[in-house]
Amino acid sequence: DGDAVHETMMIYSWQGARTTEVGAAFREAFDAERDRVVVVLAGQIGASMPNWAPSRYLLESPVWVGEEGTEAAAAHADAFAVAPYIGEEPGSVEFSRASAAAFIGEAIEYVRGEGRWHAGSEEPGLRHLIRSDRALAEEFGLPLIAYEGGQHFVGSRFTRDEVNTHPKMYELYQALFDVWTEEGGGLFVHYGGIIPRGVSDPDTEPSYYESENFGAKERQPQSEAEAPKWRALRDRMRALGQFAGR
């Protein structure tokens, strides 16, 4: 498009090139079973929004194309993937601390792209990021998938112990899956499965890693009634016919 080469363009062009090369190596190794190999270009959620082009550089790989005279990385890929997480960004995306229910209520608005998270706001909600990524994927004839995703509430005992265990997390996850599907997303890989919550000194706020509670449930014996994120995942799998268990 005539843009001068810069660091971001070079980084994502290199990623596109290396992904293509690794994919080609696997296809050669699998030979007659090469159709089993799926090459995925993995970008950042919303990195296709106006005035933010990393994902376009990844798919177009302009530096690689210019230097090697080859096709864009997207021409060799089977899918474009992003990570649709729901999280906060201090100073821009922050949710109410009045209660866990209030926090999750605002997070649901963010996922749906409603209220202060509308399409024209300075911080558009998750729906609008997914919509932009889907449009970019379609431009290159690729499906949009999620290589990982879910809640990403970290940094405090409140989000670890009160928000992540609250029954309304079920509603938040159903909103996430609904929006992902409505905006044309395909395969969704949740991060993660059974992961114990972080542990910290009771007299201090936890560090980043101590504040994590990423698991769909925290321990193997937890029932669906005890683990709202786990129940949301299983209900969606049942609705899709992927899981017939009780």
Burial class of residue 235 in the structure, from the number of CB atoms within 10 Å of its CB (0-12 exposed, 13-18 middle, 19+ buried): middle
Place of tokens 């202060």: 116
Instruction: Report the chain's mean pLDDT, rounded to a whole number.
Output: 95
pLDDT digits (tens, 9 = 90+) for 36-72: 999 999 999 999 998 899 999 999 999 999 999 999 9
pLDDT digits (tens, 9 = 90+) for 158-170: 999 999 999 999 9
> Is the pLDDT score of 101 beyond 70?
yes
- The C-alpha atoms of residue 198 and residue 211 are separated, in whole angstroms, by 5
Task: Please report which residue ranges of the chain form alpha helices under DSSP H.
Answer: 7-30, 54-60, 62-68, 100-112, 126-139, 157, 169-182, 228-239
pLDDT of residue 245: 66
Query: How much is the pTM?
Result: 0.95
pLDDT digits (tens, 9 = 90+) for 110-148: 999 999 999 999 999 999 999 999 999 999 999 999 999
Nearest to 88 by CA among 147, 28, 159: 159
pLDDT of residue 63: 96
What 116-120 contacts at long range (C-beta under 8 Å, 24+ apart), as own/partner pairs, is none
pLDDT of residue 203: 87
Instruction: Output the CA torsion sign for 64, 66, 70, 72.
Output: positive
C-alpha radius of gyration, the chain, whole number: 20
pLDDT of residue 244: 62
